Structure 1
Amino acid sequence: MDATLAALPADADHRTAERAFIDAGWTRAGAGDWAIALRAPDGSAAVRISPFDPTGPYTAELYRAAAHTRLMPELFAHRRLSGGGDLQLMEWLTPVDPADAHAFHGLIAARDETLAELVDLIDSIHARALRELPWCGPLDTNPSNVMRGADGRLVVMDLFYADGPALYATAGSDPDALVARIPESERRHITEIPLAGSGPWDEASREEMRRGIAAADARRG
């Protein structure tokens, strides 16, 4: 997996990254609203590839800062992709019972003393994301974000996310506001997220949004 990642060109976007990993024998393992996941040939790792994910660097920072707690996925590598995409290479995880997931999120929300260090790291990095990112959402308490590592431990992932409904509503109704707040280089593939959970998102609507954003970029000069 290191060789596949190292071979990606400097300007690789999400499509280039997905093709490179598939060519190396990785297989499709699922998709969400923001990203797809591929699984390594030996089953030990996953790569999460998103066309557009402003919160990716903050998530990767949290994984690294909290690695010693063993309550976050083990992150092998993180890379920003051309056009605002994000790539995270991590250990393979499996789903857990929703009751266990809700209980884990409940401990975080209650600032349980057994998770004190983790909660402090989450709060610190999330507070900075809220200051620095337009349309940064609250913590994501989706039970599917709690999973289990191969060693049996519970981990929580993808706590940070962009407020998609508000962001995309603005992109559609007031693209000038969008282009004023997010540089083109960080939103070039904004209409290419999978939306596997909330979709489908028809191509005509995507194209209409692309035209509106392009016109706003032209007005901005």
Structure 2
Amino acid sequence: MTDIVDDLPPEASHRDAERAFREAGWTPSGAGDWALALRSPDGVAAVRISPFDPVGPYTAALYREAAHTGQVPRLFAHRRLAGGGDLQVMEWLHAVDEKDAVAFHTAIAERAPHVAELVDVVRRIHARAARALPWCGPLDQNPSNIMRGSDGRLVACDLYYADGPALYAMAGSDPTRFVTLLPESERRYLTEIPLAESGPWDEASRAAMRRGIAVADAARADRDA
């Protein structure tokens, strides 16, 4: 499965990545507000592909650095995509009862002994993300972020998130400031996230945001020339 990632060209976008996985037989398994997911032909893995995800590298770092706890998903591959996209190949996960998810979140918040090592990694990487990203939100306690691996263990996933409402509000209302906070190479496809849960987002509004950002980028380039 990592061969697909390895074969992607250096400038592959989220569209290129999705096409490559689909051509290899991976099938759609859902979409959220930031990414879509495809499942491997053998059912053991999933790939999460986002057009724009500032926190993706920190989530991948959590999966790598907390792997020894067994309380995060197994990460098989991670790749940043051109324009600020993010790709993660991980084990296929299953939903859990909400009470189990809430209990696990509570254990993380209280640094219960059985999750202490996980919590230490979670907090360390979150602090890094908060220092680097203007819109890094607090830890996400959505019950859907606690899932179960194929071996039955509970795992925490997607604990980090960008404050989308604040980020997009600034992009729309104050693009001049927005372009100074996030390089173009990390936000090229910010209007292409799926918004499967909180949408719809009409194309006219997306186009207007792109125009405003393009004008701000051009004005900044003129000032820096």
Cα shift at 1:190: 0.5
Q: How many residues end up aligned between the 2 structures?
A: 221
Residue 170 of structure 2 aligns to which amino acid in structure 1?
Answer: T
Residue 144 of structure 1 aligns to which amino acid in structure 2?
Answer: S
- 2:208 matches 1:215: no
In structure 2, distance between residues paired with 1:12 and 1:190: 16
Q: Which residue of 2 aligns with 1:19?
A: 19
Cα shift at 1:2: 2.1
In structure 2, distance between residues paired with 1:217 and 1:201: 23
In structure 2, distance between residues paired with 1:178 and 1:42: 43
- 2:157 matches 1:162: no
Counterparts of 1:44-193 in structure 2, within 5 Å, are 44-193=44-193
Cα shift at 1:176: 1.0
Residue 173 of structure 1 aligns to which amino acid in structure 2?
Answer: S
In structure 1, distance between residues paired with 2:154 and 2:205: 39
Q: Which residue of 2 aligns with 1:31?
A: 31
Residue 4 of structure 1 aligns to which amino acid in structure 2?
Answer: I
SS at match of 1:47: strand
In structure 1, distance between residues paired with 2:181 and 2:150: 41
In structure 2, distance between residues paired with 1:127 and 1:159: 13
Cα shift at 1:206: 0.6
SS at match of 1:76: strand
Residue 153 of structure 1 aligns to which amino acid in structure 2?
Answer: R
Residue 145 of structure 2 aligns to which amino acid in structure 1?
Answer: N
Cα shift at 1:17: 0.1
In structure 2, distance between residues paired with 1:114 and 1:3: 36
Cα shift at 1:7: 1.4
In structure 2, distance between residues paired with 1:122 and 1:111: 11
The unaligned stretches of length 5 or more in structure 1 are none
In structure 2, distance between residues paired with 1:60 and 1:2: 15
Residue 90 of structure 1 aligns to which amino acid in structure 2?
Answer: M
Q: Which residue of 2 aligns with 1:43?
A: 43
Quote the sequence identity (%).
71
TM-superposition CA deviations, 1:39-61 (whole Å, max 9, x none): 00000000000000011111111
Coordinate RMSD, CA, aligned: 0.6
In structure 2, distance between residues paired with 1:116 and 1:166: 31
Cα shift at 1:110: 1.1
In structure 2, distance between residues paired with 1:26 and 1:176: 40
TM-superposition CA deviations, 1:96-125 (whole Å, max 9, x none): 111111111111111112111111111111
The unaligned stretches of length 5 or more in structure 2 are none
TM-superposition CA deviations, 1:127-180 (whole Å, max 9, x none): 111011111111111111111110001101000110000000000100111100
Q: TM (normalized to structure 2)?
A: 0.97
In structure 1, distance between residues paired with 2:116 and 2:94: 25
